[in-house]
Amino acid sequence: MVDKPSGWTSHDVVARCRRLLGTRKVGHSGTLDPMATGVLVLGVGRATRLLNFLGGLPKTYEAEIRLGVETDSLDADGTVTATHDMAAPTEAQVAAAAADLTGDLMQVPPMVSAIKIDGQRLHERARRGEVVDRPPRPVTVRRFDVSATDDPMVWRATVECSAGTYVRVLAADLGAALGGGAHLGALRRTAVGPFALDDAVALDDVAPEALLPPSAIDRVMASVEVDAATAVDVGHGKVLGRDRMGLPDEAGGPWAVLDGAGALLAVYEPHRGATVKPAFVLS
């Protein structure tokens, strides 16, 4: 995992890591905007396929929200589109507005997002000056805590949210709820599910020895340890009985399958009847 620096696109980080690690097989589990910093989860080599199991993980962010100014990108990298002569809100007012933006919401994706509509990414259409209707999408904001700074028009926020939530939209909606507008001044992703900044390294420090082992996937799914004979069959990608894997009949999966030394062999998922099948085999 990389602690992405500001000014780099996620694609830039992947390209840099390919050079540092000497492999073309590098991918990431979720884009961070160029302005944003923080946790960018990467997959390297055959482990890139493990990224498929990480896409839906919740995210945690630290943000800076600037009231009174709107931009076309909803963040500090954009062009100012409106200013508002807003009175400085009280902490109670900001907290109440943030509370109204907590829970299950329908959120309209910003024009600068990578979502495709009619086969074209929104940010590509935005660069051409287009604005298109975007259907709202369900998101969940589990936490939206705000705190004051020395500037009464700048607020810090901690956001815990579902995958697919746009913090920049939360910032804009907060400004609107307070009687004006706002944009995102800064954004730092501090966690992707159980993967946090403590696991991340600076981009220049990326090296094979800095990578988490593939077995770290057991942070997001149940794991099962198998004996040596079963490990051989797992390595061959065989469909196996739940009893042989030591899995109860009602277990739902997927499961990280580990050998006796704790190394990842595969990820298995439910199959027909009392059997399970490989979704991914590392060898």
Domain boundaries, the chain: 2-57+194-212, 59-192, 216-281
Catalytic residue (one of 3, 12, 33, 100): 33
CATH superfamily of 2-57+194-212: Pseudouridine synthase (3.30.2350.10)
- As a whole number of angstroms, the distance between CA 49 and CA 190 comes to 23
pLDDT for the residue 110: 79
91-100 and 167-177 helices cross at what angle (nearest 10)?
120
3-state secondary structure of 129: coil
Indicate the CATH number of 59-192 among 3.30.2350.10, 3.30.565.10, 3.40.50.300, 3.30.450.30.
Answer: 3.30.2350.10
Q: What Å distances lie between residue 103 and 59, 71, 140, 170, CA to CA? A: 14, 26, 5, 12
HEC sequence for 173-207: HHHHHCCCCEEEEEEEEEEECCEEHHHCEEHHHCC
* Catalytic status, residue 151: no
Task: Name the β-bridge partners of 28.
Answer: 42
| DSSP 8-state assignment for residue 212 | P
Cis peptide before 214 (omega within 30 of 0): no
Task: Name the β-bridge partners of 60.
Answer: 160, 191
Question: Span 216-281: which CATH code?
Answer: 2.30.130.10
Neighbours of 125 (CB within 10 A): 17
**Which residue is listed with tokens 């259409």?**
125
Phi, psi of 40 (to 5 degrees): -125, 110
pLDDT for the residue 130: 64
Task: Name the β-bridge partners of 67.
Answer: 182
pLDDT for the residue 21: 95
CB-based contacts of 264, cutoff 8 Å, min separation 6: 213, 214, 215, 217, 218, 256, 257, 258, 282
| DSSP 8-state assignment for residue 213 | P
Selection from 273, 249, 239 nearest residue 257 by Cα: 239
3-state secondary structure of 98: helix
pLDDT for the residue 219: 96
pLDDT in tens, the chain (283 residues): 999 999 998 999 999 999 999 999 999 988 888 889 999 999 999 999 999 999 899 999 999 999 999 998 899 999 999 999 999 999 999 999 999 999 999 998 876 766 676 666 766 666 666 676 678 899 999 999 999 999 999 999 999 999 999 999 999 999 999 999 999 999 999 999 999 999 999 999 999 999 999 999 999 999 999 999 999 999 999 999 999 999 988 778 899 999 999 999 999 999 988 999 999 999 7
Residue 63 near residue 167, CB atoms below 8 Å: yes
Domains 2-57+194-212 and 59-192 share a fold: yes
pLDDT for the residue 30: 82
